[in-house]
Chain A
Amino acid sequence: DTGVSQNPRHKITKRGQNVTFRCDPISEHNRLYWYRQTLGQGPEFLTYFQNEAQLEKSRLLSDRFSAERPKGSFSTLEIQRTEQGDSAMYLCASSPRLAGGLYQETQYFGPGTRLLVL
């Protein structure tokens, strides 16, 4: 399967613990996005990378959140000192660069990591 993969698929943690999620985008996709989705809502943009550079962060991304994409391939999203309000599905998506400075209109989403903070 050559789609976007995310690990783990499910994570249960206690409030105050740190968690880290991993996203492996489709090979050679330059852009990588993180979204968060709470129950009954559509996904909300968190941050995105163009290769290894993190170019935008949403105000939703508090100081407890950090994302990296060190070699422009896989990405990690870490949440420190988790709170119950962090319980959500965390989605990763990637898209490839096309010729002429365009990016493919389609974002390819992974299955998500569902986080439950007790």
Chain B
Amino acid sequence: DAKTTQPTSMDCAEGRAANLPCNHSTISGNEYVYWYRQIHSQGPQYIIHGLKNNETNEMASLIITEDRKSSTLILPHATLRDTAVYYCIVSPLPLASNTGKLIFGQGTTLQVKP
């Protein structure tokens, strides 16, 4: 079972920031928070991941609370092409000693509106 809880759906106005929350209250010390998204009829696409510090890349920012029990993915200037299902996943780093498999929940459907 997925170890994360996300809202089922959210709307965001084009050009505004989209803030997608995720609860992971049972996260273990060695588990990272990963975000993937899946645009309709495509495979999932990696966005970002982090352990405890805030992370930023060209796609998004990830804010992880100090107790690591929740996080927020921020798309700073959402576009129509950001309409997708966003998945928050907790998982350890993929090592030779583990599978690296991803356990997806149902995700949040983000609808970006003009």
Residues of A participating in the B interface, judged by any CB pair closer than 8 Å: 4, 31, 33, 35, 40-45, 48, 55-56, 91, 93, 95, 101-112
**Considering residues A91, A95, A103, which has the most beta carbons from chain B within 10 angstroms of its beta carbon?**
A103
The answer to whether B99 and A93 touch across the interface, beta carbons within 8 angstroms, is no
Give 10 closest A-B pairs by Cβ, nearest first: A42-B104, A109-B43, A103-B94, A106-B46, A101-B96, A45-B101, A109-B44, A43-B104, A56-B99, A110-B43
The answer to whether B94 and A109 touch across the interface, beta carbons within 8 angstroms, is no
The answer to whether A95 and B99 touch across the interface, beta carbons within 8 angstroms, is no
Question: Number of contacting residues on B, CB 8 A?
Answer: 26
**B100 CB contact (under 8 Å) in A31, A42, A43, A44:** A31
The answer to whether A105 and B43 touch across the interface, beta carbons within 8 angstroms, is no
Q: Mark B89-109, 1 if CB is under 8 A from A, else 0.
A: 000011111011111111100
